[in-house]
Amino acid sequence: VSRYWCELAWLGGEGPEPGVLLELDGERIASVRAGPPDGAERLTGLTLPGLANAHSHAFQRALRGRTERGGRGSFWTWREQMYALAESLDDVYALTKATFAEMALAGITLVGEFDYLHDSEAVMQAAADVGIRLTLLDACYLHGGLPRFRDAGVEAWAERVSELQPGPGVRLGAAIHSVRAVDPDSARVVAEFAADRGWPLHAHVSEQPAENEWCLAEYGATPLQLLQPAISERFTAVHATHTTEPLPQGFTCLCPTTERDLADGIGVPDAKFTLGSDSQSVIDLFEEARAVELDERLRTGVRGTYTAPQLAAAATSSGYASLGWPEGGRIEPGALADLVTVRLDGPRLAGTRPEDALDAVIFAATRDDVSTVIVSGRELDRDPARVAAELQQAIPR
Ligand SMILES: [Zn+2]
């Protein structure tokens, strides 16, 4: 049993609680109570549940800074550059590991890797070596894209995915790349495969208006209507920026820093929403969280549609649940012992009143304010210089 004393902790309520003593037993939180430090290890600042990055394509980290020149463009011109990278990338392990290490620096304790390069062993090994949890969402991709993305058919996808052997800290999920890449009959097979195993199922949905137009012309239905048989409590609609009807159940995953980078538009989250770094234009879930509210302010001229506790839940408990870890992303007895502490004594947040700490962190912190990251009861060894060196090595010139 190890004991931590949090100067401030967010336990899921409207604001932080002062002086919270946590007892950890192995990978779980055994008890949560108010009290003095009493010899426990101190976590100074605000402690939150570990952050869940619910939508990632790790390899796209190599595109940072490389897609901004070349004149006026769109998602579609960006996609050409992404395809060129995917086609030439050899060492998926090194790039994924370095990117996951950057995520660990940012307080991310669980990542959902939406994988269409299908180097699954490399992705699972990368998460294990960095020490963060992973949900590997192996994406069915049958039409379009690059040969590397595609399985010969949905049966070939199912056979490949059936053989995956997740180690500790890894769970599996399924993904339908998009309605463009997976026809409705195949999508149904993927959904049944996931349902039989109780796996989460994720799909890119209505990222672009052109996707809606194509889908209506091809099938006489919107992407969400077409995916109706796949939608359950375990379903996540990624982006859902241009959906024209509400998601009946499951989660919406917003990726605002990617959506703004790609000129995709502003998503409207449904009640349960999660956050993802997607194309890795930045890796900072505080930035993703506040962007949901700040983009809404620009669109509507109204402040306060989403509160800090709602945005914090998107980054923690909702993200964990959408990735198939419902026992994580919360600080309560029995929950997974995944924690992140944000310092309040650095130049960015010094002077924050304790009662404002959650608002200050959600609306002003960056990942550089993260001081401690604990996964499964163990503190990660985080070294920015080492991560920078790994990225330098792993990113193709
Ligand atoms: Zn994506």
Q: How far is the CA of 114 from the centre of ligand 1 (A)?
A: 7
Q: How far is the CA of 255 from the centre of ligand 1 (A)?
A: 9
**Tokens standing for 11?**
């336990």
Residues 6+ apart with CB under 8 A from 142: 150, 151, 153, 154, 157, 181, 182, 183, 186
Q: How far is the CA of 56 from the centre of ligand 1 (A)?
A: 7
Predicted confidence at residue 269, as pLDDT, reads: 83
Residues recognised as catalytic: 239, 278
- Mean pLDDT on 260-286: 93
Res 60 pLDDT > 80: yes
Q: Which of 319, 304, 316 is nearest to 363 (CA)?
A: 304
pTM given for the model: 0.97
Predicted confidence at residue 397, as pLDDT, reads: 86
Res 143 pLDDT > 80: yes
Predicted confidence band of residue 270 (pLDDT cuts 50, 70, 90): confident
**Tokens standing for 91?**
């060492």
Work out whether strand 273-275 and strand 51-56 pair parallel, antiparallel, or are unpaired. unpaired
In the chain the first and final C-alpha atoms are separated, in Å, by 46
Predicted confidence band of residue 69 (pLDDT cuts 50, 70, 90): confident
Res 158 pLDDT > 90: yes
Q: For 306-364, how does the pLDDT look when each residue is reduced to its tens digit (9 = 90+)?
A: 999 999 999 999 999 999 999 999 999 999 999 999 999 999 999 999 999 999 999 99
Rounded CA-CA distance 234/250 in Å is: 6
Res 1 pLDDT > 80: no
Q: How far is the CA of 137 from the centre of ligand 1 (A)?
A: 11
- Mean pLDDT on 14-23: 97
Q: How far is the CA of 206 from the centre of ligand 1 (A)?
A: 11
- Mean pLDDT on 28-50: 97
Contact 132, 167 (CB under 8 A): no
Predicted confidence at residue 118, as pLDDT, reads: 95
- Mean pLDDT on 75-94: 93
Contact 201, 194 (CB under 8 A): yes
Q: How far is the CA of 356 from the centre of ligand 1 (A)?
A: 33
**Tokens standing for 200?**
């989460």
Predicted confidence at residue 313, as pLDDT, reads: 98
Contact 140, 175 (CB under 8 A): yes
- Mean pLDDT on 370-394: 97
The full 3-state SS of the chain, as one line of letters, equals CEEEEEEEECCCCCCCEEEEEEEEECCEEEEEEECCCCCCEEEEEEEEECEEEEEECHHHHHHCCCCCCCCCCCHHHHHHHHHHHHHHCCCHHHHHHHHHHHHHHCCEEEEEEEECCCCHHHHHHHHHHHCCEEEEEEEECCCCCCHHHCCCCHHHHHHHHHCCCCCCCEEEEEEECCCCCCCHHHHHHHHHHHHHHCCCEEEEECCCHHHHHHHHHHHCCCHHHHCHHHCCCCEEEEECCCCCCCCCCCEEEECHHHHHHCCCCCCCCCCCEEECCECCCCCCHHHHHHHHHHHHHHHHCCCCCCCHHHHHHHHCHHHHHHCCCCCCCCCCCCCECCEEEECCCCCCCCCCCHHHHHHHHHHHCCHHHEEEEEECCEECCCCHHHHHHHHHHHCCC
Q: How far is the CA of 327 from the centre of ligand 1 (A)?
A: 25
Q: How far is the CA of 211 from the centre of ligand 1 (A)?
A: 14
Q: Which of 137, 111, 131, 116 is nearest to 59 (CA)?
A: 116
Contact 48, 11 (CB under 8 A): no
Predicted confidence at residue 226, as pLDDT, reads: 96
Q: Which of 245, 267, 244 is nearest to 255 (CA)?
A: 267
- Mean pLDDT on 270-280: 93
Cα 309 to Cα 8, 94, 326, 336, 353: the distances in Å are 15, 36, 18, 20, 17
Q: For 97-141, how does the pLDDT look when each residue is reduced to its tens digit (9 = 90+)?
A: 999 999 999 999 999 999 999 999 999 999 999 999 999 999 999
Res 190 pLDDT > 90: yes
**Tokens standing for 230?**
């796949």
Q: For 209-243, how does the pLDDT look when each residue is reduced to its tens digit (9 = 90+)?
A: 999 999 999 999 999 999 999 999 999 999 999 99
Res 305 pLDDT > 80: yes
Q: How far is the CA of 140 from the centre of ligand 1 (A)?
A: 13
Q: Compute φ and ψ for 133, nearest 5 degrees.
A: -75, 155
Q: How far is the CA of 132 from the centre of ligand 1 (A)?
A: 20
Q: How far is the CA of 360 from the centre of ligand 1 (A)?
A: 29
Which single residue is written with the structure tokens 């990251």? 373
Contact 349, 304 (CB under 8 A): no
Q: What type of residue sits at position 279? A: S
Predicted confidence at residue 72, as pLDDT, reads: 86
- Mean pLDDT on 33-37: 96
Q: How far is the CA of 238 from the centre of ligand 1 (A)?
A: 7
Q: How far is the CA of 44 from the centre of ligand 1 (A)?
A: 35
**Tokens standing for 350?**
């010094």
Percentage of the chain with pLDDT > 90? 95
Predicted confidence at residue 107, as pLDDT, reads: 98
Residues near ligand 1 ion, CB 5 Å cutoff: 278
